[in-house]
Structures are given as structure tokens and as C-alpha cells.
A and B are shown apart, each in its own frame.
Chain A
């Protein structure tokens, strides 16, 4: 008999929950926008990449594939020595392996990698999850601007190269 108030209270909880509107979002029909800095997909600014391979080496899953070659760029001043430059041939991220840790984005010294909140890039074939540099460059258009830091912060707000 001592349990009776609790039992009735329990019935009340389920009944109230039944009447309350629930928070389910009918995903394919209505979409919730993810948080602006959500880790959806990694975008590549190809011009900034120097083929330093830091991201590929730091990647815990080894899901970044980079190939490049050296070439001689014309000298800055007349009579100078031609400069040696690295050109990016291949930059692939295999999203079937990626675990979205973001180390590559953190580690990139030349601001070539950015997070984008886009997440709808599932594929029927697992091989199609390998995004090449064209695809990764396309994600660059979806990268949002960095948000302002809190008031009083002296850190410089980073800019997204457009």
C-alpha cells in the first residue's frame, strides 16, 4: 500500500508526457541547421596548401592522401634565382575512415583546411566517400565565418580565405 502514491504519480508522468508536444524533428522533411562551427565536413583551400604533409602525418586514421611535385617558379626580381615551389597533385580525404577528430584542421600551419557544418554527403557506394581536392574545394563555399570571441578577448579573430 505504501507504494500506491508513487504508482499513481508514475501514471501521471506518462500521461503528461503523452499530452506534451514532443521535440522530434522529421529529418528528411524538415531540417535542423547544425551549430555554426559543427564538424560536418573538412574543406580545402587549395591555394594555401604547400604540400607539407603535416595533416596526412598527424591523421590518426591515415585517411588523407597527398601527392605533389616540385617545380621552378620564375624569380621575383629580374636576374634572380628561380624559386622552388611545391604543387599539389592530389589531396583526398577518405570520409569512410575519417573520425572527425579535427587534428588536420588544427595542425595545418597555412590555413588550408577548415570545418564546414555540411553533413549530407552520404553515398550508396563506400568508395564514393573519398572526396578529391575538387570536392574538398567545393566545400570551401559552405565554410561559415569565424565567430567573434567574447568581449575583452585580445586574440585576433581568424579570417576564412574566400
Chain B
């Protein structure tokens, strides 16, 4: 990617190094941006308060300070914990987050690794976090942790299905699993013969978009789907025994994943990095694309966090009922209708 943009001819190991660095810097930065803008500020405004104001202008440095605080803390291991698994679990979760960043495109040439089955890969690597969470819950040797981890596993598996099924609708319409291809399909699409704004799939796949948003909410364990970490019931679930840097890893992973999933939603439904008025392949979009993508990601994240700050928590059985009895049938119907319409038109 960088070779083309900068006009340089780099060796394979050099481009790989740059990609790794970009992903490694992107994920914490994204978590900080989302944490500051939504968790600290928008949430405060929605609750009629100001949020942090003292650390830096408008509290900008609050999360940096929190991060420094976390790093200073003692790295506590429970006495009977399975030490190796306990220590690795946050890294597995963080790794799954970082892997998503590899596949999400932000410009015609700006993509970590352009894979033919991009969206499939993205959703696959995002599911690795379940293993990390189960590891964390089991290795903590704590009943609350174990309950939290099992709840997380049940929830993530239950909502993985409607998410994938919602994506299938988009994939049928675009005719490709390639994320660049999906962006192209939206950019070159036409609404009843009018191609002024392309055909962002949010219009034709609106049901899919809603299902995807709900599923993302559950995948990210944001309220109203935060039973795995319900602090009033199981005191933080699988995070209960973690302190210091390892807890920070979970926190970073949660928000970085939120950013990444908002990116996936933007690519699938909002036209990705393409905006009307530009050629699909124009080099300008290599510079403009990340900004367009960022704006779209912030819009989707706003929806996610708006719902988070508004609704109270579901009950565990309501959560499962909602996934299996409402979302999955709806998603299947969506696929059927999309398939039929795809063949008819």
C-alpha cells in the first residue's frame, strides 16, 4: 500500500514492517479517540454533565492519564490462577482486534492486505476474541470470571450468526467477498438508473444494516448487551481479576474493536472510503479516503454509543431469545428476499 502512495519501491519486509506499525499505532489511537469523544464527552452530555475538564483543554489528556495510571499499577496474578493462560488472554483479545485492522480498506490502495475474501476474513479474525475471553475467565479461577466468560461466549456466538447473515445480504448484492469490491459495487451502483451518489447499501439493505448494528452492539458487549461484564451482577465478569496493563489491554481491545466494526459497517453499508464526485480509482481518494472513512466511522460509532448510553441491560434469557428468535429469522428472510430480487433485477 505505502509503496504506491509514497511512490517508493519497498522490499517486502519493509512494507510489512510499515503495515505492522500502522496497525499497532492505529488501534490504540482509535481506542483513545472513541474513548474520549464518546465515553467521556458524548456520554456526559447525554447525562447533562460536562465530563472531564481539568486534564488538558476540555479534558483531552484524561485517557492518557488513565493509561499511565494503569501502567503504574501492580500486575496481580490470583494465587491459583493458571498463570500462563491468565497472562496470554488479554494479548489474544488484543491480537484479534489488531488483525481486523489489517483487512479494512481506507483508500483505493490503502489496505493492510487486500484479500479476495476480505469480509469473511475480517469476521473470522474478530471471533478469535471469544477464545481470549474464555481463557481469561477460566484462568482467573473465579466464579464471577467464569460466569462472565461463559456468558460472553454464549453471547458472541449467538450474535456472530445474525451478523454474518446480515453481511451475506450485502455480499449477494455486491457479488463479491472482497471489501474493495463491495466499495466498488456501491460506488458504481445506480439507484433506478441514477448514479449520482452511487448505491450505498444502507438503502437497499436497510434491514441488514439494522441487524448488523444490533449484532455489533452485542459483539462489542456494549450496553444493553453487556451481561458478560455486568458490574452490578458479576462485578466485571472475566475482567474481575485483571489489573494494570492487562486490564488496559481489554479496555483498548474493546474500543479499538468498536472502531474497527464501525469501519466494517461503513464499508458494507455507507460506501466505505468513496464519496460522490470522485472516480473510484482516483489517486486523490488515497489522501481523502482515510478522512471520509473516519467521518463515516464516527457516525456509526455514534449510533453504537448512543444506544449504549440510552438503554438499560437486557436479562440473559432475553438476550438469547432476541438473537435466536428475532434477529436470525429476520436475517434469513433478508437473505431470501435479497437473493430473489438479485435474480429478478
Residues of A within 8 A of B (CB): 7, 10-11, 13-15, 17-18, 20, 22-24, 26
Contacts and interface: CB of A to CB of B under 8 A. Distances in A.
B207 to A, nearest CB: 14
Interface string B279-306: 0000000000000000000000000001
Contacts, number: 30
A23 B42 CA distance: 15
A100 B310 CA distance: 39
Contact of B310 (A10, A20, A24, A26): A10
Interface stretch (B48-56, B82-90, B229-237, B267-275): B48-56
A23 B47 CA distance: 11
B47 A17 contact: yes
Closest 8 A/B residue pairs (Cβ): A14-B46, A18-B45, A22-B48, A24-B50, A14-B310, A18-B46, A10-B310, A11-B310
B46 A22 contact: no
A7 to B, nearest CB: 7
Contacts of A26: 50, 53
Given A10-B311, A24-B49, 4 more contacts: A10-B310, A14-B309, A15-B46, A22-B49
B307 interface: yes
Contacts of B311: 7, 10
A22 B282 CA distance: 45
A71 to B, nearest CB: 54
B45 A11 contact: no
B50 A14 contact: no
Contact of B306 (A11, A20, A22, A23): A11
A47 B45 CA distance: 52
